[in-house]
């Protein structure tokens, strides 16, 4: 048995095309959605992520800005920048790229973002709206997972869903979205007893714990749908060969780049799962696609003074 691979790249392309059409329609009516990204410091990984977000913004027709205060920026300086972006009507989304430099109080900066412009969906107001089944702006990664499930025809209502990970960014909002979609949800974490046994009861398993290849074959019921949110870089040759024996394509990548990406799910799980997301090319592309979608949604909620269709929430 080999699992059906859920193609995140294809679904993300569909969403971006839909967003681009919506942006064209809004722009023709005099409303061009705008996104501002704050990238503080000199974190190479963050710089890559932000480049991808800015590039995607341009591709779908959004107005976009990138603000790059230096590594020595203070909390007060970032609060002043966020306050300025909050006041500007042409900016519909404000995204603060994490991590911020160590001297900055990240929580204060994130809480300063206007909830109506919180396209990451992290503000407590938006978290509260999601938990009470009135979603407005929802965290992009779990929202992307829901889009993938919906567009792939995966049944959610009535299913046993297990979410491994309880972060505010993925685990908790993922669980709330699944509950709102009428799944029966269990949230697991580092203190869960018999983690493998709990996971084996899942019809739908979401791995979002940030540990490379932790979810093994014995965690997964035959035929289950497995969503791998993790992105981990493996650069040790011994670890690589344990994970990807007799895999010429991966070996070529490892040889040329010196590393490969692996999710939180071990590659062997594809032999027992019914459906599975790859890493890379699974959930990752959907995160940026949903950021674009959230920016358009924020623009419509703010500037048209009416709620758009809730199909993506």
97 is catalytic: yes
**Rounded CA gap, 278 and 21, in Å?**
28
Active-site annotation holder among 92, 114, 120, 228 = 120
Cβ–Cβ contacts within 10 Å for residue 310, how many? 10
120 is catalytic: yes
Residues 6+ apart with CB under 8 A from 180: 130, 133, 135
Beta bridge partners of 35: 64, 93
Active-site annotation holder among 92, 97, 159, 228 = 97
Query: Do β-strands 184-188 and 160-164 pair in parallel, antiparallel, or remain unpaired?
Result: parallel
Residues 6+ apart with CB under 8 A from 181: 146, 156, 157
Task: Output the DSSP codes for 92-153.
Answer: -EEEEPSSPPTTS-HHHHHHHS-GGG-TT--SHHHHHHHHTT--SS--HHHHHHHHHHHHTT
From the list 136, 156, 137, the residue with the least C-alpha distance to 146 is 156
The residues that are catalytic are 53, 97, 120
């Amino acid at each position: 048995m080999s699992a059906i691979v859920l193609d995140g790249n294809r679904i993300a392309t569909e969403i971006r095309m839909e967003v681009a059409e919506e942006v064209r329609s809004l722009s023709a009516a005099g409303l061009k959605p705008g996104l501002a990204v704050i990238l503080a410091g000199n974190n190479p990984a963050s710089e890559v992520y932000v480049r991808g977000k800015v590039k995607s913004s341009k591709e779908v027709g959004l107005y976009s800005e990138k603000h790059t205060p230096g590594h020595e920026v203070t909390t007060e300086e970032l609060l002043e920048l966020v306050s300025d972006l909050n006041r500007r009507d042409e900016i519909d989304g404000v995204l603060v790229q994490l991590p911020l430099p160590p001297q900055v109080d990240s929580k204060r900066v994130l809480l300063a973002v206007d909830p109506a412009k919180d396209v990451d969906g992290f503000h407590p107001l938006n978290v509260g709206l999601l938990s009470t089944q009135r979603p407005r702006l929802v965290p992009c990664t779990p929202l992307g997972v829901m889009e993938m499930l919906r567009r792939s025809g995966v049944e959610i209502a009535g299913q046993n869903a297990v979410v491994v990970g309880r972060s505010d960014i993925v685990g908790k909002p993922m669980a709330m979205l699944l509950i709102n979609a009428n799944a029966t949800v269990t949230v697991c974490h580092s203190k869960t007893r018999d983690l493998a046994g709990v996971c084996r009861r899942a019809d739908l398993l979401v791995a979002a714990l940030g540990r490379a290849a932790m979810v093994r074959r014995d965690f997964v019921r035959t035929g289950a749908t497995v969503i791998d949110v993790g992105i981990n870089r493996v650069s040790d040759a011994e670890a690589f060969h344990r994970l990807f024996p007799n895999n010429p394509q991966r070996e070529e990548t490892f040889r040329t780049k010196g590393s490969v990406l692996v999710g939180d799910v071990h590659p062997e799980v594809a032999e027992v799962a019914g459906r599975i997301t790859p890493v890379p090319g699974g959930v990752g592309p959907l995160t940026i696609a949903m950021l674009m979608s959230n920016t358009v949604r924020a623009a419509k909620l703010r500037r048209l003074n009416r709620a758009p269709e809730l199909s993506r929430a």
